[in-house]
Amino acid sequence: MTKKTQVIDEGKEFEEWLCSYLNSWLAVNNKRGLCYSFPDGGNQIQRIDLLLDSLDICNVGIECKSIFELGGSFSNGKIELTMINRTGRDRVGQVERQHQFLKNTGRFGVFAIELRHSKEVYLLPHSYLFDKIACGDQTITFDEIYQNSYRIGSNGNLELFVKNKCGVN
pLDDT, tens only, 37-63: 977 665 556 689 999 999 998 999 999
Higher pLDDT, 135 or 118: 135
Checking if the pLDDT of 108 tops 90, the result is: yes
Checking if the pLDDT of 4 tops 50, the result is: no
Closest CA to 99 of 90, 88, 110: 110
Assign domain 10-165 one CATH number from 1.10.287.3510, 3.40.50.300, 1.20.1340.10, 3.40.1350.10.
3.40.1350.10
**pTM of the model as a whole:** 0.84
